[in-house]
Copies of this chain bind each other. A is one copy, B any other.
Amino acid sequence: MELVAVFTRRQPEQMEASGDGVRFEHISAIEQYKGLIDVMILCGGSATDLPEQTPLIARMFNTVDSFDTHAKIPEFFETVHAAASQGGNVSVISTGWDPGLFSLNRLLAEAILPEGKDYTFWGKGVSQGHSDAIRRVAGVKAGVQYTVPVQSVIDRIRAGETPELSTREKHLRECFIVAEEGADQEQIRSTIVNMPNYFSDYDTTVTFITEEEMKASHQGMPHGGFVIRSGVTGEGTKQIVEFGLKLESNPEFTASVLVAYSRAAYRLSRDGATGAKTVFDIPFGLLSPKSPEELRRELL
């Protein structure tokens, strides 16, 4: 693999200074690289970037993205599929870990254990959306929100129980806040814990900390979680399948998944495929630099 260039909406000259020899280009120069780049890894956000960027770029290049608005995936798939097919390219959409590796494990466990129930837990980790939400509350200077799975519930599922769980029973939300000077902390707390969609359905804790503490202990982007399926075969025989991630850096891990899927995008395209693909359409063998013979010998 070779990094050819990084395309940016900022001034590429400014980026280059800190770029360690990496070539930066303005996004407007993208067309000049047609035929020179095997796969474009799209790093934009799902709200407004990717719905525009993926169809546009998929007309010119193979792409991989991490579009993660679950409810809009079907519509996104159709749009990208049309664009990539038109350009004769392959677009791997919605990869990363959820959607991505977690989705794969939900599918796999359901296909093997059709009688069963699955559970997805996220965390402990930073939720960007919820952190943004608390930072918009009046009087909040800085804030981080951690999603925390309820360990006692995970233990019950691992032991073979298949409880019906409300939102509140699966995850806690922990907020760490630096308040503006003179701000009403009780007012901030109450606004957060009662915020609809984001916090009102959860048990939420709000802890006020100093700016120094925020810098010292809350700069990382850890995340992770579990997909657990508890099923039965035969006459009530319990079978449990579990996949878990424990990540010190969510963005670095997500990027690593996208890089592995870019290998598959290139190979699929080289072999004549076109259109949008998801993780469900791609055999794992295409993710590895090893040949099929090496994989059978070393990893099967």
Spell out A's residues near B (CB within 8 Å).
70, 73-74, 77, 94, 99, 101, 103-108, 110-114, 158, 224, 233-234, 237-249, 252-253, 255-257, 260, 263, 278-285, 287-289, 292-293, 295-297, 299-300
Contact = CB atoms under 8 A, between A and B. Distances in A.
A176 B224 CA distance: 39
B284 A279 contact: yes
Contacts of A296: 73-74, 77, 278, 280
Given A295-B107, A300-B103, A238 B248 contact: yes
Contacts of A99: 300
9 contacts: A77-B296, A105-B243, A113-B256, A224-B240, A237-B252, A242-B243, A243-B243, A281-B285, A282-B283
Nearest to A253: B239
Contacts of A288: 107, 110-111
A293 B74 contact: yes
Given A101-B108, A107-B288, A287-B111, A280 B297 contact: no
Nearest to A76: B296
A138 B77 CA distance: 65
Nearest to A277: B283
List 8 A-B pairs, minimum CB-CB distance, nearest first.
A280-B285, A111-B287, A233-B252, A240-B246, A111-B260, A111-B288, A237-B249, A242-B244
Given A243-B242, A299-B106, A300-B73, A249 B234 contact: yes
A99 B296 CA distance: 10
A228 to B, nearest CB: 9
Contact of A253 (B107, B110, B233): B233
A186 to B, nearest CB: 38
A94 B24 CA distance: 46
A73 B297 contact: yes
A83 to B, nearest CB: 17
Given A260-B112, A299-B103, A252 B239 contact: yes
A105 to B, nearest CB: 8
A245 to B, nearest CB: 6
B112 A257 contact: yes
A283 to B, nearest CB: 5
A33 to B, nearest CB: 26
